[in-house]
Amino acid sequence: MPEAPLDQEARDAWRRLAMPVYTRIPRDPDMARRAVSRPEVALHWFAKPGGESDTFDMFPELDRIRCPTLVIGGEDDPMHPIESQADLAAALPAHLVQFERFAGCGHGVVQDAPERTMALLREFILRR
């Protein structure tokens, strides 16, 4: 029998507990109001055992990438540890990938290190 979708109270509890560890810099408290949120998509991805978050595996297809790819990883990312990000970068064609580690950053690298991230993105794009 499928697990019931999370109710609003459970979603609010998840946000309250999970969001603070995504980044080192506190999030803008007004961000959620400005964001487009599709709870049914998140619930489909995360909420049910055997759902896509449990079965999704992109690794077998990564060698098919044919364009330059920048992988940016926060060394303190609680969702995808830096080792998993290094594995992802290693699975991409070596001549196309650039892997950048960000010390002191969580899952939200852009928020934790905006100047460095944007400079890296600009340089990556302009070099192409």
* Domains of the chain listed by start with CATH number: 1-56 (no CATH), 57-128 (3.40.50.11320)
> H-helix or E-strand containing 72?
strand 69-74
Instruction: Give 2 or 55, the one with higher predicted confidence.
Output: 55
So what's the pLDDT on residue 1?
35
Report pLDDT digits (tens) over 89-98: 999 999 999 9
77 Cβ contact list (under 8 Å, min separation 6): 85, 105, 106, 107
Report pLDDT digits (tens) over 37-70: 777 776 666 666 666 766 778 899 999 999 999 9
> H-helix or E-strand containing 13?
helix 8-22
So what's the pLDDT on residue 63?
93
pTM exceeding the 0.85 threshold for the entire prediction: no
So what's the pLDDT on residue 50?
66
Question: Of 25-34, 70-79, 115-124, which one has max mean pLDDT?
Answer: 115-124
Q: What share of the chain is helix, strand, coil (3-state, %, to 5)?
A: 50, 10, 40
* Selection from 117, 6, 23 nearest residue 72 by Cα: 117
Q: Residue 114, Cα to own-chain centre: how many angstroms? A: 15
| C-beta separation of 72 from 112 below 8 A | no
